[in-house]
Chains A and B, each alone.
Chain A
Amino acid sequence: MNSKGKKKDGMTRRDFIKVAGTAGVVGALTLAGPGIPFIHAKEKVTLRFLNSETDADCVKVMAMTSAEYEKKTGVKVLVDTLPAQDAFSKLTASIKGGMPYDMSCLIFMGDVLLLARDGHLVPVTSLTKKYKFGPRILIPYKNEQYWYPYDYNLCTMFYRKDLYQQKGLNVAKTWDQLVENCKALMLDENKDGVYERHGIALPIGTGGPASYMSFAFLWAEGVKIFDDNFKIIFDSPEMGPKVIKFLDFFEELYKTMPSGMTQIGFAPPLTLFASEKITHTVFTGKICTHIDKFAPQLADKYGMTPYMDSKGVSKAVSFGYDGWVVVKTKYSEESMKFMEWFTENHYIDFLHSSPLGFQPPRMDIYDDPRWRADPMIKKYWWAMQAMWDYLKDPNLIIASIDTQGPYVDVRGGKIFNSFALPEMLQNKLLKKMSSNECLKVAAAKLRKSIA
């Protein structure tokens, strides 16, 4: 070899790299190309389940269930668990990669419809039609159901009942009353302007928590984002003034909140309430189990009420449903068998893994003694009863940003993920823009997101 790295005869190193590189790229392209099906083991059916409930108890139930199913049928169910927000990406990547999950949790109805439209899901109508489900939780597509909803995640308001009694306050029916109650319960022990206890904590950061927890006031007020043709009417003469009123109300409410509301996610409103730093919060029924575990001294000192409107006429809760889908794979039939067995025999075990967190969308469950036998459900029946009543109350509005519109559609997901509404709050509260200007900016962003 000479000094420049060239062999005296034969190919040079550069030539070798070229040939090897080309061969490598061609080989890799061939391997990564389409049409390589995932080869399932012939001797044994293995189903893959993408679970997005990360709670340890839930993971345990899924593991026990799959073990029991394998023992019973010989079909193995492998359960992968990941955070809910990543489920859709992972599921689509698995489909694209030729190794699709057979079943999956999904958290956006828009995602379900997208996959159903593109032919990646099999209908689960045969499973859902056996039962009566609560309002707004089923999403028919071409006369079929493509998902099996397993919880509602109704987000409602909690307040400190004991402090209300001490101060002679009534449960707020209007926005003004809520602000007054929050102000009345703030505590500045040392009279130094530093509050040891605040009124309420509502997320305003860019992300899901604010979208889920901070806008049910709008739904109570009758605000709609789309008209019946999916045209944005958020700033229309009918809706605009309501949104402006909401922003002005929120500005007042914000004065009763601790600092750091842009940072908080789903959990902090819960921990702040349990640690008595705030007197109102919003969350699912899971708050009962949290308080029972971490602040038992508060167990009988709080009550629940829906979000209210400005006039004391209408009420609302937001929802952040979850559901299961069955993916079109060579084992779809086996997956359906598993889902049927699971939803018939172990759905209640699954619900018990987060007894007040998983609010059943299946109405028969509320009367099922097996479900009601759970100690936490028994202990906090007042809360579960209230949430059950929400589902039965035709006047209570159950809504969310992503389910806006005449029917569920991917556009709901787009406006949700544009974060136009949380940013509207940020513009008002952090940038001190006028409510009019905030509305204008938000409406423009909403329009752009679905353009």
Chain B
Amino acid sequence: MKSDWVINAFLVIGLLVTAVCIVLPLIHAIQLSFFQLESFVSEPKYIGLKNYSETFADSVFWWALLHGCIYAGGSIIFQVSLGIGIALVLSKSFKGQQIVRGLSLLPYLLPVVIVTLTFLWMMDGTLGIITIGLAKIGIRDVPWFETPFTAMAMVIFVSVWLWTPFVTTCFLAGLQTVPKALYDAAKVDGLGPWQTFWQVTIPVLKPILTIIILLRAIWMFNKFEVVWLLTQGGPVGATEHLPILAYRKAFLMFNVGGGAAVATISFMILSIAVFIYFKLSPIEEK
């Protein structure tokens, strides 16, 4: 049948793209992790699992893993809770609703580099507009990136600002699919807004929520550019997570194999986390 061939053709294209852009680099990265090489063009020397044993024995790796969990966890909590809240507000009818909906998506449309550098300038310790504004109301010398806590808070803040609109948009789209009859029934049963949200909206939108959380978790755990541009992993390694550690080892420390090992471990951790997540929160097929 013609339609089958169309489907199959798309499948083949998809598989080819996946193979070339994802599977092959992945295999190559895993392969590199068993070798010692100083650059991509150096003569590789097979060293078995040494890169892994060294990585696991290195406290920096465990700190980076912890920082990654804090960064991803913190970002997801705020992105999802704020995203849902904004989506609920935007789902109500009000004057200018369409404009506000459009504007709410704006941060997601801006290039990450521009947003990040803009924040960096706004929070510059001396010339930053936010710093100067705060100084005018008596809040001086804010250590934006100078303590481990504030540096982590800042990278989470910028990440939340950037990607909350994604959650909002997904959740807003999901809200349109909740049958109005359910809300009517909830009203008849005497449920208040809070109860309606927990007993009607959330259960109906659970599959969407599951996917949103999963995607955000994967993306945030692997997010590199925001942290690199804001802190380069500092101060004193306080925001260094696994992607930065892998990059630093592979591209700055002349240890491509070590960087590949960190990247592979990160991939394995994510795979296991996704597996457990789906076990705990299965997506029910209708």
Contact = CB atoms under 8 A, between A and B. Distances in A.
A313 interface: no
A16 B11 CA distance: 9
Contacts of A25: 19, 23-24
Given A28-B16, A96-B40, A259-B126, A423 B237 contact: yes
Interface string A7-32: 10000010011001100110111011
A414 B248 CA distance: 10
Given A20-B11, A262-B145, A263-B124, A1 B251 contact: no
Contacts of B127: 268, 271-272, 275, 277
A37 interface: no
B225 interface: no
Interface residues of A, number: 57
Nearest to A20: B12
Contacts of B233: 206
Please indicate which of the listed interface residues A20, A88, A423 has the most CB atoms of chain B within 10 Å of its own CB: A20
Nearest to A32: B24
Interface string B70-84: 000000000000000
Nearest to B252: A417
B42 A206 contact: no
A25 to B, nearest CB: 5
Contacts of B142: 259
Contacts of B252: 413, 417
Main secondary structure of the interface of B (DSSP, over half): loop
A201 B126 CA distance: 10
A95 B1 CA distance: 46
A114 B255 CA distance: 13
A120 B41 contact: yes
B243 to A, nearest CB: 15
Contact of B232 (A207, A259, A275): A207
Nearest to A194: B140
A89 interface: yes
Contacts of A268: 124, 126-127
A235 to B, nearest CB: 18
A258 interface: yes
B284 interface: no
Contact of B236 (A24, A275, A430): A430
A394 interface: no
Q: How large is the interface on B (under 10, 10 to 19, 20 to 34, 35 or more residues)?
A: 35 or more
B143 interface: yes
A414 B254 contact: yes
B207 interface: no
Contacts of B43: 118
B157 interface: no
Contact of B4 (A1, A110, A271): A1
A400 interface: no
A36 interface: no
Interface in A407-451: 410, 413-414, 417-419, 422-423, 426-427, 430-431, 449
A207 B234 contact: yes
B144 interface: yes
Label chain A's interface by main secondary structure.
Answer: helix
A93 interface: yes
B234 A93 contact: no
Contacts of A27: 16
B253 interface: yes
B15 interface: yes
A258 B124 CA distance: 10
Contacts of A20: 8, 11-12, 15
A16 B8 contact: yes
Contacts of B42: 114, 118
A118 B41 contact: yes
B41 A277 contact: no
Contacts of B143: 259, 430
Contacts of A92: 39-41
A427 B146 CA distance: 11
Contacts of B11: 16-17, 20
- Identify which of B7, B16, B39, B143 gathers the most chain A CB atoms within 10 Å of its CB: B39
Contacts of A233: none
A17 B146 CA distance: 53
A205 B236 CA distance: 9
Interface string B3-33: 0100110011001100110011000000000
A260 B12 contact: no
Given A20-B11, A118-B39, 15 more contacts: A92-B41, A118-B41, A118-B42, A120-B41, A205-B145, A206-B234, A206-B235, A258-B125, A260-B124, A260-B126, A261-B125, A264-B124, A268-B126, A414-B253, A426-B234
Interface of B: 1, 4, 7-8, 11-12, 15-16, 19-20, 23-24, 38-43, 120, 123-128, 131, 135, 140-147, 151, 231-237, 248, 251-254
**4 closest pairs, A vs B, by CB?**
A260-B125, A206-B234, A417-B252, A259-B125
